[in-house]
Amino acid sequence: MRKITNSELNRKNPEEFKEAEKTPIIIILDDVRSLHNIGSVFRTADAFLIEKIYLCGITATPPNKEIHKTALGATETVAWEYQKEVTEVIKSLKNQDIAVLAIEQVENSVLLQDFEPTEGKKLALVFGNEVKGVAQEAIDLCDGTIEIPQLGTKHSLNISVSVGIVVWDLFKKTIR
């Protein structure tokens, strides 16, 4: 086996990325504190051609040296927008017929492996604060919740890890 070089990866340049058909997923980050987590989410969004990221509440925005450290330029390719109130973003997206789902541990949540996206329906995924998770007022507005099953003692994943797991799973299910 030979490791593939960067030049062999057929990477899109920023213009090609912006013109490319996007995966019908929007990521909403609400009150995410860690700049490294934010940067990591941008990088994951770039990898899977995610349509857009909404940064809400206390979530920091580019340009920012610490976000850039983990995003590695993805803040220049992935569309993003800052909105103070996550509830307003959720309402707006729902008015556009986009299914909004919180990624959280709640009563009657659907386990990630059991969730099947509706073909042709765009999804928006709400990820919350590293300690408090998705705020109840945001959950109340969502169309449903998805839970990542966990079997250990913590029942808690880093937000950037959660984004990666959920986006990969939904990417596989939406790209047929």
Domain locations along the chain: 13-174
Q: Pick the more confident residue, 176 or 87.
A: 87
Average pLDDT value for the chain? 96
Work out the angle at residue 147's Cα, subtended by the Cα atoms of residues 141 and 162, and round it to the nearest 5 degrees: 100
pLDDT value of residue 155: 85
Q: Residue 45: which pLDDT band, with cuts at 50, 70 and 90?
A: very high
pLDDT tens-digit readout, 114-160? 999 999 899 999 999 999 999 999 999 999 999 999 999 988 899 99
pLDDT beyond 70 at 176: no
Does residue 119 contact residue 144 with C-beta atoms inside 8 Å?
no
CATH of domain 13-174: 3.40.1280.10
Using CA atoms, how far residue 76 sits from 51, 52, 59, 66, in Å, is 13, 12, 17, 15
| SS3 state at 54 | strand
Using CA atoms, how far residue 23 sits from 151, 159, 165, 176, in Å, is 30, 20, 15, 11
pLDDT beyond 80 at 175: no
Extract the tokens encoding 13. Answer: 């340049």
